[in-house]
Structure 1
Amino acid sequence: MTAHLHVITGGPGSGKSSLIQALAAEGLRSMPEAGRAIIQQQVETGGDALPWADRIAFAEKMFRWELRTHREARAQRGPVILDRGLPDVIGYLRVCGLPVPPYLWKAAKVLRYHRRVFIAPHWPDIYAQDTERKQDPTEAKATCLAMREVYTRLDYELVPLPLTTLSERVRFVRSHVERG
């Protein structure tokens, strides 16, 4: 059996990471989000590859992280749940109004995920800022829309996550993953 890479994308604060943690607790393999880990590492080391300092350097670190994640996930067997994917880096750059390098589009076209991508809609009822998530609700919503546009442009089928309890979201994702 080969790996089946299932991406969960969307805007910040829409419940993606909580959902992925719950799926992992049920035994599904998962890969963490690049953005939060990079922010934590940059803050700890005094780096400036941060979305509020150097957005291009931050995007480049996310790109390298997603390349590594894709390679590591491909080496797994069975389904693997990913907190974002390569197209998310493109969406980030677009939200920031920054140019998307051609190599990033090429990588996103060549290094593919399962054809159905889960998208967590902007959910104002659960959105909250924290030390790593500094976007305001307007930017969070714009990020979700950018991810929708990028994944659609790359010919993925988007499966919106329901705005419901965490356990219902877990059941929803598991049912889609188990169907293949």
Structure 2
Amino acid sequence: MLVRHVVLTGAPGAGKTTLLQAAADAGLATSPEVARDLLKVPGGMALRADDPLAFADAMLTAHLREFDRFADYREPVVFDRGFPDVAGFLDVAGLAVPRSIDEACRQVRYNGLILRAPAWEEIYRSDSERIQDFAEAVESDAAVTAAWRRYGYTIEDLPLAPVAERLAFLLDRI
């Protein structure tokens, strides 16, 4: 199978961004976590808290933009999260997944690997954008993993290992 996309999903604070940076340092094309970028703009945290559906729409738009940015790229691209993560975010919030998000998850498909970073308490840290406690991170992990499976993807767990080992794991699969 031609691996064009590698998507890192899973728990908040489980090392996805660190692995993404290691992949970039190794010369792979990468796409950042769009939610984190949205949370950093003025009003981003309030939007997430006050209108999670609008925040989900903003995440979808950003994911579509990132996906399209690499449409003609022939080498593997590593994405920090993807469309089903938006559905998982809404599932955790107890909200229905709007048709636009559901259709994107069904019709705009990643071709490659979906690698899950399981909740890992030993490395978990909250920060200004990662506001969940560890129990909420575990709940988020379960929701996004279920969403990826619901949309027909096979998920492989990253090892609970140092970043160099995780990068080797990723590179061995592409």
Q: TM-score, normalised by structure 2?
A: 0.94
**Which residue, out of 138, 146, 153, partners 1:149?**
146
Rounded to whole Å, the distance in 1 between the matches of 2:23 and 2:45 is: 33
Query: How do residues 21-170 of structure 1 correspond to structure 2 at under 5 angstroms?
Result: 21-41=21-41, 43=42, 46=43, 50-170=47-167
Q: Which runs of 5+ in 1 are unaligned?
A: none
The aligned amino acid for 2:108 is L
When the two chains are superposed, the root-mean-square deviation of aligned CA atoms in Å is 1.5
How much has 1:163 moved relative to structure 2? 0.1
Residue 151 of structure 1: how far off its partner (Å):
0.8
**2: CA distance between counterparts of 1:62 and 1:168?**
30
Which one-letter code corresponds to 1:70 in the other structure?
F
Alpha-carbon deviation of 1:3?
7.6
Secondary structure, in 3 states, of the residue corresponding to 2:173? helix
Alpha-carbon distance in structure 2 between the residues aligned to 1:163 and 1:48? 30
CA distance in 2, matches of 1:111, 1:135: 29
- Name the SS for the 1:127 alignment partner: coil
Give the Cα separation in 2 of the matches to 1:143 and 1:47: 19
Distance 1:60 1:107 in 2: 11
Gaps of at least 5 residues in structure 2 are none
3-state SS of paired residue (1:116): strand
Query: In the alignment, is the contact (CA less than 8 A) between 1:49 and 1:57 conserved in 2?
Result: no
Residue 9 (structure 2) aligns with: 9
Shift in CA distance, 50/135, structure 1 to aligned 2, threshold 3 Å: farther
Shift of 1:30: 0.3
* 2:3/2:111 contact within 8 Å kept: no
C-alpha displacement at 1:55, in angstroms? 1.5
